Amino acid sequence: MKKSLLLIMSLFSVLCMAQKNENQCDFTIKCQSPKQAFSIILHSPSNDCTNDDQEIYLQTNGKKTKLQLLRAWYFDIDNVGNQPSVCKSGYPEYPLFPLVGSQVLMILRSSNRPNYDEVTAAIIDVSKAKVLDYQILGTSQKRSTGVLINGNKFKIQLVKEYLKEMRCDCDAAFVEGWMEFQIINGKIQKHWL
């Protein structure tokens, strides 16, 4: 009897783990902007993050639309910058910020293995369910992604340069700098400070 109960408990815990890990790549970002509520859904059709196949969907008023963004292995990141976000993914805020009208700026972080993670920015028009612009900002060696906002300008710290003179493939060979960008006519304009 004890052996049977132990076997059943073991199988149950394995089944629970399998269900919990089944969609480990998928996550949803819930947003409440001044104009409307919406969600961003990141979904991996293969349920395997390493396939770099996550697709991004916008859901508004019960309608789900696939956004024209690159497939990748995206990470659920926290907004640690100086301004609050209108979105949450679970408990933490996600770096997604309102712009003009129904436009939002979304900061994404994805695997760029074997190199550092890639940081990108997308301007999404929520009412049209359309990506207006998408830019690769650079790479980051930090675990956190912080965006500083000052008026209509955004700043983010990224890897600016790789020093080939260093005798290691280590963090000492990477120089960080501040990338500043702003949105002009629905397009991301960026430059190094």
The pair of structure tokens assigned to 104 is: 């939002």
Amino acid identity of 93? E
Per-10-residue mean pLDDT of the chain, 193 residues long, equals 38 29 76 86 93 96 94 91 84 85 93 93 95 95 88 93 86 90 94 95
Q: Among 158, 57, 36, which Cα is nearest to 106's? A: 57
pLDDT tens-place string over residues 78-120: 888 999 888 887 667 889 999 988 999 999 999 999 889 999 9
- The ranges assigned to domains in the chain are 26-192
> Which residues share a beta bridge with 60?
63
Given a contact cutoff of 8 angstroms between Cβ atoms, the answer to whether 58 and 124 are in contact is: yes
- Residue 93 has a pLDDT of 85
Q: Among 92, 65, 64, which Cα is nearest to 79's? A: 92
Q: What is the 3-state secondary structure (H, E, C) of the chain?
A: CHHHHHHHHHHHHHHHHHHHHHCCCCEEEEEECCCCEEEEEEECCCCCHHHCCEEEEEEECCEEEECCCCCECECCCCECCCCCCCEECCCCECCEEECCCCEEEEEEEECCCCCCEEEEEEEEECCCCEEEEEEEEEEECCCCECEEEECCEEEEEEEEEECCCCCCCCHHHEEEEEEEEEEECCEEEEEEC
Which residue is associated with the tokens 């001044």? 34
CB-based burial, 90-114: b 16+ in 10 Å, e otherwise: eeebbbbbbbeebbbbbbbbbbbee
